[in-house]
Amino acid sequence: MRILIVGNGGRESAIGWKLKQDPRVKKLYFAKGNATTEELGENIYEESIPELVEFAKSEEIDLAIVGPEAPLVDGIVDEFRKNNIAVFGAGKKAASLEGSKAFSKRFMQQYGIKTAKAEVFDAYAMAIEYVRQQQFPVVVKASGLAGGKGVVICEDLEEAEATIHDFMIRRVHGVAGIQIVIEEYLQGFEASIIAFSNGEQLFPCVPAKDYKKVGDNDRGLNTGGMGAVAPSPEFNGMHYADFERNIMKPTLEGLKAEGLNFKGMIFFGLMVTRDGCYLLEYNMRFGDPETQVLLPLMENSLLDVIEDCLEGKPVDLKFSDKKAVCVVMCSGGYPRNIEIGCEIRGTEKVEDALVFFAGAQKSGKHIVTSGGRVLNLVALGDTYASARAKAYDEIKKVSFDYGFYRHDIGKVNDK
Ligand SMILES: Nc1ncnc2c1ncn2[C@@H]1O[C@H](COP(=O)(O)OP(=O)(O)O)[C@@H](O)[C@H]1O
Ligand SMILES: [Mg+2]
């Protein structure tokens, strides 16, 4: 089979690595890919949806898989379908569950999905009037896609008013902030559950935990993700039963009632409080960096699972009992200004872990940095402690100027 994977992050490296293990996969193309995907297949430079459709037709692509949110929200899946190219991912309508936080909050409210109390605003004056009556902290969210920068937890009224002004009047996130969601602040721990959809049913992977803050012990700015661990060390069977009943089941009912059914991935971003699980958001795709820890634990062929989903068949996901820890190594300065073009050394010395490049490209004989999150190192072990020890032993062998990573990924109290 000839497969096209859209995206260029660590997630797409992991998807390609997993697919490549299936002997039926003959050729992988990545748009635009990175240093790992260049080894797994061929990186291509087509980028717009029409260019990718043309490419898929002329290269006789048997299956396309879409990683990032932007092309999904722009309707890439609908265009591929129209051209009779098999594609795994949410259509435009379903992708708006991620592309519009206003739409998704209304969906959650309408279908009784357990979520933080919230109101949607299109008018600045009304948002200000509302926020003056709230308790703090309060969470202000830009409705549209803002690359992970559109959510601010406001400690007091002053910060909330300034944030609403930034989003709605100054438009720091462009049109993404014209509409906002103001919601109740929830305290707890977060978990990510990613599920495959065959258009009728959802098939969840084991729960994962990601680390969003740039610094150790969750200090500092938000990032695209500094690491991940699977299964989530905190999310237990009781939490899962709560999630299934109060979030997953009503979500499936809502998807059916609204005709939003799709064959692709759905990601539940959860906050687990003393009152149980709340849904913070949907992402309509594989998570990054969660995918980098889930796929190495998955015992099925990813191609089989995707094909079964596309044919509307049930799938029986199997995960190993091991633990997976992913440490993300970043460019100095990330998530603010970064310098790129630094040579990455030592990845060939990594023996007992996987290296998935993200913001890294080949340049002649070398691999150089080309983005904020440069590479993901993933180690497996029988315990969290052994997986974590291995990950940190191996990542010591890797270096580039000003590169850094968190030191506390996968730290839990087991042996
Ligand atoms: N209601 C809330 N209470 C507490 N923290 C929240 C709440 N909503 C979001 N957050 C925090 O903000 C982060 C980003 O919010 P999310 O809704 O996932 O948007 P996005 O991922 O699109 O930026 C969450 O991972 C969580 O840490
Ligand atoms: Mg999120």
The span from the CA of 324 to the CA of 379, in Å, is: 6
Shortest-distance ligand to the CA of residue 150: 1
Nearest CA to ligand 1 atom 9: 280
Does residue 111 sit within a domain? no
C-alpha pair distances (Å), 273 with each of 105, 186, 190, 191 = 19, 7, 9, 11
Neighbours of ion ligand 2 (CB under 5 A): 269
Among residues 310, 338, 356, which one ends one of the domains?
310
CATH code assigned at 33: 3.40.50.20
Among residues 40, 72, 92, which one ends one of the domains?
92
Q: How far is the CA of 330 from the centre of ligand 1 (A)?
A: 22
- Which atom number of ligand 1 is nearest to the Cα of residue 98? 22
Does residue 63 sit within a domain? yes
Q: Do 66 and 32 reside in the same domain of the chain?
A: yes
Does residue 411 sit within a domain? no
Q: Do 172 and 199 reside in the same domain of the chain?
A: no
Q: Do 150 and 258 reside in the same domain of the chain?
A: no
Q: Which residue among 69, 120, 153 has the greatest number of ligand 1 atoms within 8 angstroms of its CB, and so is best to mutate?
A: 153
Shortest-distance ligand to the CA of residue 223: 1
Q: Do 267 and 193 reside in the same domain of the chain?
A: yes
Does residue 410 sit within a domain? no
What is the value of pTM for the model shown? 0.97
Among residues 260, 284, 310, which one ends one of the domains?
310
Nearest CA to ligand 1 atom 2: 185
- For the chain, what is the domain count? 4
Q: Do 218 and 272 reside in the same domain of the chain?
A: yes
Q: Cβ contacts of residue 379 below 8 Å, gap of 6+?
A: 324, 325, 352, 353, 354, 387, 388, 390, 391, 394
Does residue 297 sit within a domain? yes
The order of strands in the sheet holding 42-44 is 42-44, 27-32, 2-7, 63-66, 87-88
Residues within 6 Å of ligand 1 by CB: 116, 139, 148, 150-151, 153, 183-186, 190, 212, 269, 271, 280-281
Domain hosting 157: range is: 123-178
The span from the CA of 229 to the CA of 218, in Å, is: 15
Cα-only R_g, the chain = 21
| Residue 396 amino acid letter | K
Q: Do 195 and 306 reside in the same domain of the chain?
A: yes
Q: Yes or no: say if 209 and 224 are a contact pair by the CB < 8 Å rule.
A: no
Q: How far is the CA of 219 from the centre of ligand 2 (A)?
A: 17
- Which atom number of ligand 1 is nearest to the Cα of residue 116? 1
CATH code assigned at 285: 3.30.470.20
Q: Do 206 and 295 reside in the same domain of the chain?
A: yes
Handedness of CA 254, 258, 259, 260 (dihedral sign): negative
Does residue 113 sit within a domain? no
Shortest-distance ligand to the CA of residue 151: 1
Cis peptide leading into residue 335 (ω within 30°): yes
pLDDT tens string for the chain (415 positions)? 999 999 999 999 999 999 999 999 999 999 999 999 999 999 999 999 999 999 999 999 999 999 999 999 999 999 999 999 999 999 999 999 999 999 999 999 999 999 999 999 999 999 999 999 999 999 999 999 998 899 999 999 999 999 999 999 999 999 999 999 999 999 999 999 999 999 999 999 999 999 999 999 999 999 999 999 999 999 999 999 999 999 999 999 999 999 999 999 999 999 999 999 999 999 999 999 999 999 999 999 999 999 999 999 999 999 999 999 999 999 999 999 999 999 999 999 999 999 999 999 999 999 999 999 999 999 999 999 999 999 999 999 999 999 999 999 999 975 4
Q: How far is the CA of 311 from the centre of ligand 1 (A)?
A: 34
CATH code assigned at 136: 3.30.1490.20
Q: Do 277 and 334 reside in the same domain of the chain?
A: no
